Amino acid sequence: MAAYKRILLKLSGEALMGDDAYGINRATIVRMVKEIQDVTALGTQVAVVIGGGNIFRGVAGGSVGMDRATADYMGMLATVMNSLALADTMRQEGMTARVMSAISIDQVVEPYVRPKALQYLEEGKVVVFAAGTGNPFFTTDTAAALRGAEIGAEVMLKATKVDGVYTADPKKDPSATRYSTITFDEALIKNLQVLDATAFALCRDQNLPLKVFSIFKPGALKRVVLGEDEGTLVHV
């Protein structure tokens, strides 16, 4: 039995790269979609926010002298590309997905309209929220927290390279251990980087729990949704 009725899954753009240096790796995106399919099969409603780091990041543009806001809009458009790829892969795998954009590009994807998103979720469709928050100077983690709170997701699931939040960087400190659960306040005091400050504040203020888990561990997403001890739960 699934532990959650509705989840917001945050995937980084990098998660789509696989072993490639850039862009979308076919085998990787198919594997990711199959993991999502396993969760929808449990009856859990799934909304997804995907980043754009595999294509373009605002800070990268800013570092070569670009106007930061312009670079951020490019980053948001990168998330639209990833969202389209994700939804199309879902279609190929026999799932039904809808992409909704925070920036109006109506010929490409429909705009984000909250009641419509809720309707799609109730109908069992996967909703992919594209273009982040629609504003420069924010991240897709913040978009995930925002949309997660808006749709009343019970949890935000952040798929990362590491299988949870550790007492120290496990790559540098072999004695580091994984937290099974930790509060937002403890994470703040211990200076554990679980989310950027804006996303972190939103989750904490809106009482949206965050589960950090590994995207590289096969079946981890399903185990998280089944409520098993996978990753780290950050809560109020």
CB nearer ligand UDP, residue 37 or residue 135: 135
Nearest C-alpha neighbor of 55 from the set 33, 35, 27, 85:
85
CB of 65 to ligand UDP, least distance (A): 15
CB of 205 to ligand UDP, least distance (A): 18
Q: Is 148 in the site for ligand UDP (CB under 6 A)?
A: no
Q: Is 51 in the site for ligand UDP (CB under 6 A)?
A: yes
Q: Is 133 in the site for ligand UDP (CB under 6 A)?
A: yes
CB nearer ligand UDP, residue 12 or residue 40: 12
List the strands of the sheet with 6-11, edge to edge: 110-111, 97-101, 126-130, 45-50, 6-11, 155-160, 210-214, 232-235, 181-183
CB nearer ligand UDP, residue 132 or residue 231: 132
CB nearer ligand UDP, residue 21 or residue 236: 21
CB of 227 to ligand UDP, least distance (A): 25
CA dihedral 163, 165, 168, 170 (to 10 degrees): 0
Q: Is 138 annotated in some ligand binding site?
A: yes
Contact footprint for ligand UDP (CB under 6 A): 12-14, 51-53, 57-59, 72, 75-76, 78-79, 132-133, 135-136, 138-140, 142-143
Write out the binding residues.
10-13, 52-53, 57, 72, 133-140, 160, 166, 169
